[in-house]
Structure 1
Amino acid sequence: MLRKHLLYLTSDHLFAYLWQAGSLTPGPVFGADAAGLRAFALWLADGDTAPACLLADLVEEEFQRQLMPHVGGHAGRQMRRRRLHQLYRDTPYRHASVQGRASGGRRDDRVLFCALTSPAIVNPWVAAIERQGVPLEGIYSASLLSGALIRKLALAQPHLLLVTQQAGGLRESYFEAGQLKFSRLLQTAGHDGMAAGIAGETERTRQFLASIRLLERGDLLHTVILAPAAELDALRPL
């Protein structure tokens, strides 16, 4: 694998990693302010021109699930692009994915639309990368990548809530039959407080999923928590 830079973006910081031979080597951390952006630009200017991947892990992310007519090929992609623009016209960081088809009626496509809704957080970092001529391979969402994680862990429960502690906070992602339907990031004080609030937040998420009819009466929500080894003893009573 060619060397790349993985740039992990939260609301407060950008963490730089060297990604090579399947492993990550931590690099500098930059604050999300004018001084941090200047330091980031200097770091890019002094480094190599290895391509970069920007991974955004932000609170400001929105998901909408809609049914759309089943249209394949270029026409279908164009239809979803138009709908994306209607839903999220104020941000370029948006995505649509078809998640199968409805079982009744016209058997419309089930489509998940999502977007990073505060482009002002992302734009300065992208601009700095482009000014330095560093190839930007893509801008990725941590929530969308979590689908690859549950497949890697062979988690196949019909209703799954994946809870992870990350630099950006506590993330809860709900999957139905292996498809991401909803994700939210809760900013927390840090790893030390993970166990204290996780039970309450998980229950609030369960109630929210029921209120928007993603969980029906009698559905069992399996919760999987990925945590550092130091947290395991505190989490076991949950």
Structure 2
Amino acid sequence: MAAKRILLLDGPALTAYYWHSGRIKTEGEFSHEPVGLEALAAYLKKHRSSLFYVLADIAEEGFQLEDLPYVQGADRSALLQRRLSQYYYNTPLSAAISLGRATEGRRDEKLLFAALTRVETFTPWLDTLREAEAILAGVYSVPLVLASCGPQVLGDKDPVLFVSLTRGGVRQSFFDQGKLHFSRLSQLATRSLDEIGRTSAADSAKIFQYLLAQRQIPRGTALRTVILAHAGQIPTLQRFCSNTSDLQFEFADIADMARLQGLKDVPGDSNADNLFIHCLATKTPVQQFAPANERRFYRLWQIRFALTSAAWIVLAGCLLFAGKTSLNLYELADTINATKAVTATDNQRYNSILEGLPKISVTADNLRALIGRFEALQKRTPAIEPLLLHLSLALNDAPRIELTHLTWKTSDRPDPSQKIAEDPKRGPGAAPVVDAAAGNWAVIEIQAQLPLALIADQRAQIELIENFAARLSDPKTNVKVLSRPFDIESDKPLKSTGQRGDAQPSDVPKFALRIARQL
């Protein structure tokens, strides 16, 4: 992280401070004369990698409160810029601070327009910073610093007037609901405790009347006034700051506040410069006064810092990935060694089993090839199961038919008894014509019988057999009835079946059929 250096401007001179881990060190004081500006330029070039914060503690300040309609985006920026140019047309060191939105009505936004009104005071210092290409983080004022750290000490409920002492004089800052509304600096002539006490009491009374006239506080209520001072100087200040019907004075120990904010070098008097410098370094306000062109090198530093941080993050991720990969390789090496040991043990067991087997004339390679061919033949064996399943479903649908005998085989045509016809045009000795139906067929010949009760009803027998054959027949299955319980050809003599009561078990009607399906 870049070092932080604060340039405190509280008059004609500028003082440089170095902040690090809660400790503040004075590094130089520069005047606005050419010699002082040259010394400042040399100082800036010496610490060109540091972040510089300009902290102004001067009386030339302006504050304006206004309620505006709530807008966003480019319209908001244009509206705020127009209001700033109307209030502070002669200075670019201005800022708009949002104090929140109203809870009723249009819910307008309350804004505080603040500025450092005397730009001539900052011109030589900003020119020197720009020429030295210093990384200027921003131009801040003591009221902006108080706005970021004051509510932690003062609370965020009732209106309160906060009085502090700096090298520039006595500063009174008014807060309402934890938001800064106004600040004023009164310069001192002798900086004695008596003068500090009289100035604090007198200016607090004047500010009370001003706030009452501006209707920022209700009438008839006392304004809480907190004075930040050293514990050893509080009794002297209390002689001048006594409670009245308008002001209720409270005193806060600067040492307690310094410890609360994390400042390691506790102030030895009531001067709060080091405390405000520490708050600026640790709780930098979001708002500042410097225009964008003055902070160009700070923007470049932010981009460089973001890229460097991203590079470090990528590097850390790569290192973690490399470490994880190394751990995985280490675990993989252990797994490989364990696998090799198991493989060696299995080989030894396999060899011992082979040695215990009877010796055969076939070598291991030939035996392996033979088994492979046997498995290939098994895969090529035609499957009869679909046709048998089809027959089983048909028998389930015809429970009156009883299967007595079944034979199956594979053939090159659905009717194995059919002979291949010869083409007379081709002449004797020519190759026979192969029928389109030729191929690899699964053929099942079944013999079944009908119920004995149907022996006298030939029509029912024919109907039952034809229904069973129709149930078996489909586009993939060829069905042919081979024999029936009786002869129906015209050249066969009719035979009487007798009465049903005279039927014997040997006279049960029987039939046979053949089903074939191409494999």
TM-score by length of 2: 0.44
**What is the alpha-carbon distance in structure 2 between the residues aligned to residue 85 and residue 181 of structure 1?**
20
- Bigger CA drift: 189-198 or 50-59? 189-198
Partner SS for 2:189? coil
Partner SS for 1:153? helix
Q: CA deviation at 1:198?
A: 1.4
Aligned to 1:164: 164
Q: CA deviation at 1:179?
A: 0.9
Q: CA deviation at 1:47?
A: 4.1
Query: Are the aligned partners of 1:169 and 1:190 in contact in 2 as well (CA < 8 Å)?
Result: no
**What is the alpha-carbon distance in structure 1 between the residues aligned to residue 106 and residue 181 of structure 2?**
22
Q: CA deviation at 1:104?
A: 4.2
2:203 pairs with one of 198, 201, 204: 201
Query: Aligned runs of 1:131-150 on 2, under 5 Å?
Result: 131-150=131-150
Q: Give the unaligned 5+ runs of structure 1.
A: none
Partner SS for 1:188? coil
2:220 pairs with one of 212, 215, 218: 218
**What is the alpha-carbon distance in structure 1 between the residues aligned to residue 178 and residue 71 of structure 2?**
23
1:79 alignment partner AA: L
1:202 alignment partner AA: S
Q: CA deviation at 1:155?
A: 2.6
Identity %: 34
Larger Rg: 2
Partner SS for 1:208? helix
TM-score by length of 1: 0.91
Aligned to 1:13: 13
- Bigger CA drift: 98-107 or 208-217? 98-107
- Bigger CA drift: 59-68 or 72-81? 72-81
**What is the alpha-carbon distance in structure 2 between the residues aligned to residue 104 and residue 165 of structure 1?**
38
Q: CA deviation at 1:23?
A: 2.6
Q: CA deviation at 1:54?
A: 0.5
2:237 alignment partner AA: L
After TM superposition, where is structure 1 displaced by more than 6 Å over at least 4 residues in a row? none
**What is the alpha-carbon distance in structure 2 between the residues aligned to residue 86 and residue 170 of structure 1?**
29
**What is the alpha-carbon distance in structure 2 between the residues aligned to residue 126 and residue 23 of structure 1?**
26
**What is the alpha-carbon distance in structure 1 between the residues aligned to residue 231 and residue 43 of structure 2?**
33
Deviations 1:166-222 (A, max 9, x none): 111111000111111111111112542312321111111111111111122023311
Is 1:151–2:151 an aligned residue pair?
yes
**What is the alpha-carbon distance in structure 2 between the residues aligned to residue 41 and residue 175 of structure 1?**
38
Aligned to 1:30: 30
2:43 alignment partner AA: W
**What is the alpha-carbon distance in structure 1 between the residues aligned to residue 199 and residue 89 of structure 2?**
35
- Number of residue pairs aligned between Structure 1 and Structure 2: 238
Query: Are the aligned partners of 2:68 and 2:108 in contact in 1 as well (CA < 8 Å)?
Result: yes
**What is the alpha-carbon distance in structure 1 between the residues aligned to residue 148 and residue 180 of structure 2?**
10
Deviations 1:65-123 (A, max 9, x none): 11111112342233212221222121111000121223443221111111111111011
Query: Aligned runs of 1:40-79 on 2, under 5 Å?
Result: 40-79=40-79
Partner SS for 1:77? helix
**What is the alpha-carbon distance in structure 2 between the residues aligned to residue 34 and residue 165 of structure 1?**
30
Q: CA deviation at 1:230?
A: 4.0
- Bigger CA drift: 78-87 or 159-168? 78-87
Query: Are the aligned partners of 1:159 and 1:219 in contact in 2 as well (CA < 8 Å)?
Result: no
Partner SS for 1:59? coil
Aligned to 1:234: 236
Partner SS for 2:216? coil
Aligned to 2:303: none
Q: CA deviation at 1:62?
A: 0.4
**What is the alpha-carbon distance in structure 1 between the residues aligned to residue 199 and residue 179 of structure 2?**
26
1:43 alignment partner AA: Y
Query: Are the aligned partners of 1:157 and 1:222 in contact in 2 as well (CA < 8 Å)?
Result: no
Q: CA deviation at 1:130?
A: 1.3
Q: Give the unaligned 5+ runs of structure 2.
A: 242-519
Q: CA deviation at 1:49?
A: 3.2
Aligned to 1:112: 112
2:3 alignment partner AA: R
Partner SS for 2:130? helix
Root mean square deviation of aligned Cα: 1.9
Query: Aligned runs of 1:168-187 on 2, under 5 Å?
Result: 168-187=168-187
Deviations 1:18-60 (A, max 9, x none): 0222332122122344443233223323445312011111111
Query: Are the aligned partners of 2:2 and 2:51 in contact in 1 as well (CA < 8 Å)?
Result: no
Partner SS for 2:220? coil
Shift in alpha-carbon separation, 1:225–1:70, aligned structure 2, 3 A: same
**What is the alpha-carbon distance in structure 2 between the residues aligned to residue 204 and residue 70 of structure 1?**
33
Aligned to 2:4: 4
Query: Are the aligned partners of 1:2 and 1:20 in contact in 2 as well (CA < 8 Å)?
Result: no
Partner SS for 2:188? coil
